[in-house]
Amino acid sequence: MRKQNIQTGIIAFLVSVLTFAGFQYFTGNNQQTVRIEHHNALPSQSANYAGTTAPSGNSYPDFTATAEKVVNAVVHIKSTQTMEASNSQRGLPDPFRDFFDDFFSPRFRDQQPMTPSPQVGTGSGVIISDDGYIVTNNHVIANASDIEVTLQDNRSFKASVIGTDPTTDLALIRIKAEQLPTLAFVNSDEVKIGEWVLAVGNPFSLNSTVTAGIVSAKARNINILRDQYAVESFIQTDAAINPGNSGGALVNTSGGLIGINTAIASPTGSYSGYGFAVPSNIVNKVIQDLLEYGIVQRGVLGIMIRSVDGNFAKEKSLSVNAGVYVDSIMENSAAGEAGIASGDVIVGIDQLAVDGTSRLQELVARRRPGDRISILVNRKGKEKTFEVTLKNRSGNTAVVTRDEKPLFDVLGAELQPVEAAIADKLGIEGGVRITRLYPGKLKQQTQVQEGFIITKIDGTKITGVEQVADMLKDKKGGVLMEGVYEDLPGAYYYGFGL
């Protein structure tokens, strides 16, 4: 019996060996080896590392030197707005009631004046010169009657507004101080997606807050600026940015200024992972214009555009999947005069790639009327280069002179002559149209709206923008504007004081 059991075991063992050998023979040639590689750390050219190591052996990024360098040049801004009491009389303030009372309904005559109520907002700013020039966001100081700047060393100063640009949401202010710490601009075109950055500001009035992250994307448009000629080509970062960070610094690990923090994308109003900064190259150009001219000079191509993607390229049978499609050419446009035509796809400007409308707007916004730029287009599969001389919105290459600066600084408005056809339609002899409003007397003291056509100032007929500038250049005291709206009946009167 025992002998039989031994024989049975030997047979079972041999069967198992033969079965395993047969399986290896028939399947071994079809097996694949999958190798999964793990990298505990990837090299970085943008981050500095401390000597202290984590338990796993990895080095921690160390931003202490950069933070110490940057934080002293970022300031806290308190902006106070005094809301004017509304008298509901088509924008006419109290000083003019006694003179023009007959124009208005009697129900307003006994109305008690309302007490102005101050509203206080806070934000950040970046010192860019040691004699007190500070760049911030326009929305931080818009319509402010008082601006207070607090430095890192707790000194406080009153600030004056040098100029603003709502199209990029930037503003330049100044305090009376000397030998201040500053941040230097660096070329934002060289910023790479994935590199380390620091955001410095005053979120929730928590002064001198530093957060770290990476550049998540470039040339991002989030449709946050409502201006007709807005330029959005933001640097996107995951460094924590919250309310109060607006106007603060976005810097690289060397402490160079690569952007001004401006907005967040959030369902709650607080940080949810995405922050946006105006690139330093745009900031630098805007600041130079404000210093030199008092207003931003904006060159335009005079074209209607849209971004190219795969679906649009297929629809239009294009040979490229990225770029800016020229939908139409406007009359007297800079692009049209240079030879660019409808159906062209702009793929580069001055040897820099253009992959969408945001990037194109950024590159053009960095130039002035009269500047020449080289535009590379793809036309039916072939590349062509055109030399384009940029124009202004009026169709010429002139820039706004210093003589016109009071018009923009005091009124806070852009004006253009009314078109002859519109004047005939409205039955007026002429005038100037308010095409854009930004912080100034008109916004602070009246309810005038964009589109208002000024026909008279202090009873004098208005025929051109230069005439308005001349009349207001040395004006003191009250000013009364008379005019019409294209789509509203009747005459309107707005008064303000200088």
pLDDT tens sequence across 235-250: 999 999 999 999 999 9
Domain boundaries, the chain: 46-295, 303-389, 402-497
Looking at residue 153, what DSSP letter applies? T
Residue-averaged pLDDT of the chain: 82
More confident residue, 317 or 82: 317
Residue 45 pLDDT grade (very low, low, confident, very high; cuts 50, 70, 90): very low
Best-predicted range by mean pLDDT (315-319, 405-409, 471-475): 315-319
More confident residue, 392 or 314: 314
The pLDDT tens digits of the residues spanning 162-191 come to 989 989 999 999 999 999 999 999 999 999
Give yes or no on whether 46-295 and 402-497 have one common fold: no
Looking at the DSSP assignment, which residues form a beta bridge with residue 292?
none
The pLDDT tens digits of the residues spanning 364-379 come to 999 999 999 999 999 9
Beta carbons of 125 and 149 less than 8 angstroms apart: yes
More confident residue, 23 or 257: 257
How many Cα atoms sit within 13 Å of 388 on the Cβ side? 33
Residue 403 CB contacts under 8 Å (≥ 6 apart), including other chains: 469, 473
Q: Give the pLDDT score at 409.
A: 60
**Which residues are catalytically annotated?**
139, 169, 246
Determine the topology of domain 402-497 in CATH. Answer: Pdz3 Domain (2.30.42)
The pLDDT tens digits of the residues spanning 78-103 come to 999 876 544 434 444 444 434 333 33
Q: Give the pLDDT score at 339.
A: 96
| Proportion of the chain above pLDDT 70, given as a percent | 78
The mean pLDDT value for 117-135 works out to: 92
Checking if the pLDDT of 52 tops 50, the result is: no
Secondary structure class of 290 (helix, strand, coil)? helix
Checking if the pLDDT of 328 tops 90, the result is: yes
Looking at the DSSP assignment, which residues form a beta bridge with residue 385?
376
Single pTM value for the model: 0.69
Whose tokens are 């890192």? That residue is 152
Checking if the pLDDT of 214 tops 70, the result is: yes
Beta carbons of 81 and 119 less than 8 angstroms apart: yes
Q: How far apart are CA 321 and CA 340, in angstroms?
A: 19
Class (C level, CATH) for 303-389: mainly beta
Whose tokens are 């097996």? That residue is 31
Q: How far apart are CA 478 and CA 242, in angstroms?
A: 41
The CA–CA distances, whole Å, from 335 to 231, 328, 338 equal 19, 10, 5
Residue 115 pLDDT grade (very low, low, confident, very high; cuts 50, 70, 90): low
Q: Give the pLDDT score at 403.
A: 53
Residue 402 pLDDT grade (very low, low, confident, very high; cuts 50, 70, 90): low
Q: Give the pLDDT score at 277.
A: 97
Secondary structure class of 192 (helix, strand, coil)? coil
The mean pLDDT value for 192-215 works out to: 94
Instruction: Determine the CATH number of domain 46-295.
Output: 2.40.10.120
Checking if the pLDDT of 314 tops 60, the result is: yes
